[in-house]
Structure 1
Amino acid sequence: MTGTPSAWQLLAPVIDLVTPLAVRAAASLGVADHLADGPVPVAELARRCEADPDALGRLLRHLACHGVFTEPAPGTFGTNELASLLRSGHPAGMRAGLDLAGFGGQMDLAFTGLLHTLRTGGPAWETVFGAPFWEYLAANPAMGASFDATMAAGTDYAADLAAGYDWSGARHVVDVGGGTGELLAAVLTAHPGLRGTLVDLPATVRRGRDHLAARGLGDRCDVAGQSFFDPLPSGGDVYVLSSVLHDWADRDATTILRRCAEAAGRDGRVLLTQEHGTEGADRAEMDLRMLVLCGGRERGLDDYTALAAEAGLTVAAVHTTPLGQVLIACAPVPGTHLS
C-alpha cells in the first residue's frame, strides 16, 4: 500500500534542477550524435565524448530513468525518440539551444540571478554575467554568434511564418532584427517574385549575407548592418518584426515600431510575429524569461494594439498559423505624419 506522498514528492515536478541540467550536459557533449549508429558501451561513449566514464554513466542512467536515452544492457546506452531530438542535425535545433557552452545554456543559467529581478524589477543577466544582455553579446563574438544560431534554429517555424501570411501584394520584404536571415530565406524561397532586405547589427548581417548566399538568394537580398533604433532602409512593402519586440520594454518597443512605420510609409505594412501564443503557459514562461534576460516582456493583442497606436499604426488583421504563431499586420493611421 502506497503512503501519502511527501512534500518533496509533491513538489518534485516543479523543483527538479538535476534532470534539466543533465539533459543540457548530454546535449553539450553531443551524446546523441555519438549514439546515432546504435547503443555503445559507456567506456567507448566516454572516449568519443571526451568525458569521464563513471560520471557519464551516472548521468545517462539518470536520464534513462526519466525516458531520455536507454540502457539496453548494463553500462551500454542508446537513443530513443526523446534523445534523438538532441542530435546536431535535427531540424528542431535543440542541441544548439541547450548547449551549456553556447547561448542557449547560458540563457538558462541567468535564472540563478532571479532574486535580483524579483527585488529590483530589472534583468538578472548583468548580475550573473557582468554586463547587460546586449552589451555582453556585442563584447563576446563567440556568444553573439551562438545567439544568432539559436535564434535561427527551428526551420519549421520559419516555413510556418512564410506560409502563414499573404505575401501576394508585396514586392520587397524588410526583415528588421532578422538575425542571420532564416525567416527571410524561407519567405524568399517560398515566393520567388519577392526581394528582401535583412536588417541587424553588422556582425550578424555578415553571417546573414553568407547564409543567404548559401541558400542561393544572394542576388535577391540586400543587407543593412545597423541598429533598428536608427532610421531604417526605405522602399519595402512589408517590414517584419519576428519575435523582436518581446526583447524590449514598452518605450523601446514603440521606438522600433515607429522606425518601421516611418520606413514603410503610407502604403506599407508592418508585420509583427510572436512564436508563442498570446495566452497560457507559454506566454507566462516567456514573459518571465524576457524580464530576467533583458527587461523585455510578452504581450497580448491589446498590448500590441496600444504600442502600434503610439507608433502611428493600427492593427489591420490578426492571423494564427498552423504551428500557433501569431501574426499581427499593422497599417499606418491615415493622416499620421511619422517623420
Structure 2
Amino acid sequence: MGNENDVKTLREMAGLVTPMALRVAVTLGLPDRLRAGGAAAVDHLAEELGVDPGALELLLGHLTTLGIVERVGDGYRTTGFGANLCADAGTGLHNLLHQDTAAGRADLAFVDLLHSVRTGEPAYPLRYGQGFWADLDEQPHLREAFDRQMTWRIRQRVPKFVDAVDWARFGLIVDVGGGPGDLLAAVLAAHPDVRGHLVDLEVGPARQNLGDRAEVTQGSFFDPLPAGGDAYLLFDILHDWDDDSAGRILGRCAEAMPASARLVVVEGIRGVGAATEMDLIMLVHFGGRERSVEELTKLAEPHGLTLGGVTEVPGDHSVLEFRKHPI
C-alpha cells in the first residue's frame, strides 16, 4: 500500500476539477464581476450570466474553498487573492485561462495529450478541426489575445534580452515573425543608430509599436525574407514548429543573409532553464518542441549556418548566434 501523503499528493496533481473551475470562473468573468460590482447573491448572478443557479452555487462553493471568493451575507465577492485573476490585474492569468483566448483555448487540447504522445502530432487540430495558426488567421480576437500573451511574457525580460546581445554591431535588424515588435522596439530605443525591419502576417500592432526607424512588412517566414540585413532575429519562433518547418524558416533566413550577417535565435533551451512543462505545451498546441543547443545546431547546419556562441539569459531563455559558412 502506498504512502498516504504520496497518494494524496498524486491525486491532487492529477485532479482536473480545480484547474477547470478557475478557467470557467475567468471565462464567466466572476473575479471581475464580484470585485467591481461588489457581493452578489447566486440567483441574481446566475440570471445576469445566463447560467444554472444550482451549478453556479457549486462552482462558487469550490472557489470559496480555494480562497478565490468569500461569502458576504447572502452573496459572494472576490478576495484579494482572487483579484489576481481579474482582466486588469496585470498578471497575465486572465489571458492564459479564459477559454476564448488563444492560450486558454489551446490548453483545452490537453485532454487529447494521449493522441500527441502516440503520434507525435499536435492535439489542437484534433479538438478544433484545424491548427492553432489557422485559427488565429481566421479569428482576429484570438490573434489579439496571442499578441497580448507574448507581450506579457517578455515584458519584464526585454531589458535582459537587450543587454544579452551587442546589438550596436548591426546597422539593420530584420525581426522575423516579430509579432507586435516589443523586443525590436526596445533594441531600437537603446541603440539610436540601429534600424529595424519587422516581418509578420499581422502587422497592425507592430506599426503602432515601432517608430520611423523600422519598416514593417506583411509576410510569412516561410516565404522569401527581406535581403541585406546585418542581423536576422528569431524570437520564440522555432519551438512552435516541427523540425521540417523550423528548418524551412532557418533556410529562408540563410538565403536572405549576406555573408557577413548573423542570425540571432532567442529560445528556451531544453536542459538549460526551459521548463519541462513547455515541452508538452509546444507538442500539444503546435506539434513543436523545445530543443537542445545540439539539436538547434544540427537543424541549422544544412542551411549553411554555424553556431558562433550561446548566451544564457537569466530566466528561461538563451541567445544563440549563427553565422554563415560555405555549404
TM norm. shorter chain > 0.5:
yes
Letter in 1 for 2:204: R
The equivalent residue for 1:124 is 123
Q: Measure the CA separation in 1 of the matches of 2:200 and 2:48.
A: 36
Structure 2 counterpart of 1:187:
187
**Alpha-carbon spacing, 1:76–1:280, altered in 2? closer, same or farther (3 Å):** farther
Larger CA deviation: 313-322 vs 132-141:
132-141
1:322 alignment partner in structure 2: 314
Q: Residue in 1 aligned with 2:264?
A: 271
Deviation at 1:193, TM superposition (A): 3.2
Q: Hey, what's the Cα distance between the residues in 1 that align with 2:164 and 2:88?
A: 25
Q: Displacement, 1:246?
A: 0.7
Deviation at 1:304, TM superposition (A): 1.2
2:217 aligned partner, one-letter code: A
The separation in 1 between residues aligned to 2:192 and 2:179, in whole angstroms, is 21
CA distance in 1: counterparts of 2:266 and 2:48, whole angstroms = 39
Match of 1:150 in 2: 149
Partner amino acid for 2:231? V
1:208 match: 206
Question: What letter matches 2:156 in structure 1?
Answer: D
Q: What residue in structure 2 maps to residue 296 of structure 1?
A: 288
* RMSD between aligned residues: 3.0
Percent identity over paired residues: 39
- The match for 1:171 is 171
Q: CA deviation at 1:29?
A: 3.2
Q: 1:78 and 1:4, CA in 2 relative to 1: closer, same or farther beyond 3 A?
A: same
Residue pairs, 1:239-250, within 5 angstroms: 239-250=232-243
Find the aligned partners of 1:191 and 1:55 in 2 and give their Cα distance: 56
CA deviations over 1:22-65 (Å, ceiling 9, x no partner): 22222223444345569634559938973656644543442343
C-alpha distance in 2 between matches for 1:102 and 1:305: 34
Report the Cα distance in structure 2 between the residues aligned to 1:19 and 1:281, rounded to whole angstroms.
Answer: 28
Aligned pair in 2 of structure 1 residues 4, 122: CA closer, same or farther (>3 Å)? closer
Identify the range of structure 1 (20-29 vs 221-230) with the bigger mean alpha-carbon deviation. Answer: 20-29
| Paired AA for residue 235 in structure 1 | G
> Which segment is superposed worse, 127-136 or 246-255?
127-136
Partner amino acid, structure 2, of 1:65: T
Residue type of the partner of 2:248? T
* C-alpha distance in structure 2 between counterparts of 1:10 and 1:280, whole Å: 27
Q: Residues 192 and 70 (structure 1 numbering): CA distance in 2 closer, same or farther, change over 3 Å?
A: farther
Return 5+ residue gaps in structure 1 as ranges.
none
Task: Mark the CA change 1:13 to 1:186 in structure 2 (over 3 Å): closer, same or farther.
Answer: farther
Counting matched residue pairs gives 323
User: Structure 2 CA distance, aligned partners of 1:71 and 1:186?
Assistant: 42
- What is the distance in 2 between the residues matched to 1:117 and 1:241? 26
1:100 Cα deviation from its structure 2 partner: 0.5
| Between 111-120 and 219-228, the greater mean CA deviation after superposition | 111-120
Contact 1:92-1:156 at 8 Å conserved across structures: no
Q: How many angstroms apart in 2 are the aligned matches of 1:127 and 1:328?
A: 34
In structure 2, the partner of 1:111 is 110
How far residue 107 of structure 1 moved from its aligned partner, in angstroms, is 0.6
Q: 1:305 aligns with which of 288, 297, 301?
A: 297
Instruction: Quote how far apart the aligned CAs of 1:89 are.
Output: 3.0
Q: In structure 2, how many angstroms separate the alpha carbons of the residues matched to 1:133 and 1:78?
A: 33
**1:75-90 correspondence to structure 2 within 5 Å:** 75-81=75-81, 83-90=82-89
The CA distance in 1 between the partners of 2:183 and 2:43, in whole Å, is 40
**Quick check: 1:260 aligned with 2:253?**
yes
The answer as to whether partners of 1:196 and 1:221 remain within 8 angstroms in 2 is yes
Distance 1:265 1:124, change over 3 A: same
> Do the aligned residues in 2 keep the contact of 1:91 with 1:156 (CA within 8 Å)?
no
Larger mean CA deviation between 135-144 and 220-229 belongs to 135-144
Normalised by the length of structure 2, the TM-score is 0.86
Tell me, what secondary structure is at the counterpart of 1:219? coil
